[in-house]
Amino acid sequence: MKRVFGIETEYGITVNGVENVDVVAESIELVRCYTEHGALMKWDYNLEDPHLDARGFRADTLMQDTDESVYYELDKNRPLSYEEIKSDLVLSNGARFYNDHAHPEYSTPECTLLKDIVAQDKAGERILAECVRRRNKKIAPEREVRLYKNNTDFVGHSYGCHDNYIMSRTVPWDRLVTDVVPFLVTRQIFAGAGKLGIEGEGSAGQPGVFQISQRADFFSVLVSIDTMNRRPIVNTRDEPHADPGKYRRFHVILGDSNMSEFATAMKIGTMALVLELIEKREAPQLEIAQPIDASKSISRDQTFNWIIELKDGRKISAVDVQRMYLAKALKYCDRSQPETDWLLTEWEKLLNDLDVEVMRCVDRVDWVAKKYLLNTFQENESLEWTDPWLQSIDLEYHNITWEQGLHFELVRQGRMQRLLSEEEIKNAIFGPPETTRAFFRGRAVARFTSQIQTIHWDEVVFGHDSTQTRVAFNHAAEDERLFQLNNIMRKASSYEELIYWIQKLDQGG
């Protein structure tokens, strides 16, 4: 694969014994537990514009602006500036870690390898777990803070896990939407995290119904720039964080947070292959009659047959939709690349297993593993499916504390397929991927934080003794200048040497 990708994950917060948690304050405290490991509050917000729409215009206002203003109204009474509330950290592994209003959010560094993206995603869990440990040392034991890598509070509020991909801007937007929707709607059969209950924005859940996706309940339109209200299956935010004349960032908000290493790799990898098909004009040509309804019906289907209707009236299963994309990928994607070969092999196995008996995937797919836990507990304790105890089991699957999380109990028992060693995850906590600009960013933070004036995905600005050096990146990978800059960062023995070589490169030396 030749694709740059990353994952943004918001984490849910609970505080033992506190019903109405000031989640903003708690999120700020959690992020600030990690300040010694990153560049604090140097993020350049001037390089961001979430109002730019991929359809060719700039939205004056967003639906979530109104929702955000609620937080801003509450924040007026806080003795903190906007920057202090955000508490932006850029970490030595190239990741961004900050308070996103009511949730600590970890955005992985840019990656080009599946093993790297899974490692960086897992590193995020470990970083957040360390923040929880430090936070709990400062407060009363009975007020224990817990963090969950999930997507719902079970009373009608959802928070996101967004996957992002750099792709060619030559693909017409309308064709991208048409070609990608059937894949996105059906991807949940192996990428869903599973949950008990049915929810809608602002309404309490209906307990007792098991769904394969946590996020499916919260989408109401096909295409939109909004992300917090009237959520779309395809988001139109146009912030490429690269040369806007060549690239776009495909920002996917229709997806669950995954605990399974395997599920994360499949979620990202298959989407990357589908974008390759779309760029080659080889994606399957089919249209789902009602994509939003289909997404919900797939998630709620207790038979796991997942039958949906196409616009031409035909009925088809979600597995067969995925098989159509797989068949195209087998034909048009380069299988000589080891990761692509692994993806295609595992994609086919996964679909075959889901088609025969979903429990065959219990060691790979989050929703199946969770269903196994719930079934076992429900049977052992003779509980009704509406029992709140089961919902607590659901939530604890996502607990990111190693000693508490039920997913990690399955890992300890050897019941989940792993792609990484513990050493690889530990290395990713402080080490950036070496194939993207995240390497330069992360090493700059690790070595020269005090000289950094501002930082962003696509630039780092250094300042020292009244001189300023701006290092800009037009692309996240596969750029000759990027390779040169990363090599300069590797070989520079001092800040002065770093700036010397950067200036020489800019002068064509």
Task: Catalogue all structural domains in the chain, each as residue range(s) with its CATH number.
Answer: 5-426 (3.30.590), 437-506 (no CATH)
Phi then psi dihedrals of residue 68, to 5 deg? -65, -35
Burial 19-58 (b: 16+ CB within 10 A, else e): eeeebbbbbbbbbbbbeebbbbebbbeeeeebbbbbeeee
Radius of gyration of the chain (CA): 22
Q: What is the pLDDT of residue 68?
A: 47
User: Lowest mean pLDDT: which of 155-164, 194-203, 255-264, 365-374?
Assistant: 194-203
| pLDDT at residue 204 tops 70 | no
| pLDDT at residue 452 tops 80 | yes
Rounded Cα–Cα distance for residues 368 and 363 (Å): 8
100 among known catalytic residues? yes
| pLDDT at residue 70 tops 70 | no
State whether residue 317 is helix, strand or coil: strand
Write down the mean pLDDT value for the chain.
93
**Averaged pLDDT for residues 163-192:** 97
Alpha helix stretches (DSSP H) within 76-172: 82-86, 114-138
Amino acid (one-letter) located at 39: A
State whether residue 500 is helix, strand or coil: helix
| pLDDT at residue 61 tops 90 | no
Confidence class for position 155, pLDDT limits 50, 70, 90: confident
Query: Model's pTM, two decimal places?
Result: 0.95
| pLDDT at residue 435 tops 60 | yes
Q: What is the pLDDT of residue 69?
A: 46
User: Lowest mean pLDDT: which of 168-172, 227-231, 318-322?
Assistant: 227-231
Q: Do you know the residue count of the chain? A: 509
Per-residue CA distances from 436 to 73, 165, 413 (Å): 39, 13, 35
> What is the 3-state secondary structure of 423-474?
HHHHHHHHCCCCCCCHHHHHHHHHHHHHHEEEEECCEEEEEECCEEEEEECC
Catalytic residue among 53, 88, 100, 355: 100
Number of Cβ within 10 Å of residue 403's Cβ equals 9
pLDDT in tens, 377-395: 999 999 999 999 999 999 9
Residues 6 or more apart whose Cβ sits within 8 Å of residue 447: 495
Q: What is the pLDDT of residue 406?
A: 98
Confidence class for position 362, pLDDT limits 50, 70, 90: very high
**Averaged pLDDT for residues 448-456:** 97
Q: Are 236 and 59 in contact (CB under 8 A)?
A: no
User: Lowest mean pLDDT: which of 200-214, 396-410, 479-493?
Assistant: 200-214
Phi then psi dihedrals of residue 248, to 5 deg? -130, 155
Select from 103, 71, 99, 104 the least CA-distant residue to 86. 99
Per-residue CA distances from 103 to 60, 106, 219, 286, 365 (Å): 26, 10, 20, 37, 25
Confidence class for position 79, pLDDT limits 50, 70, 90: confident
Q: What is the pLDDT of residue 60?
A: 67
User: Lowest mean pLDDT: which of 40-54, 332-346, 439-453?
Assistant: 40-54
Between 157 and 343, the more confident residue is: 343
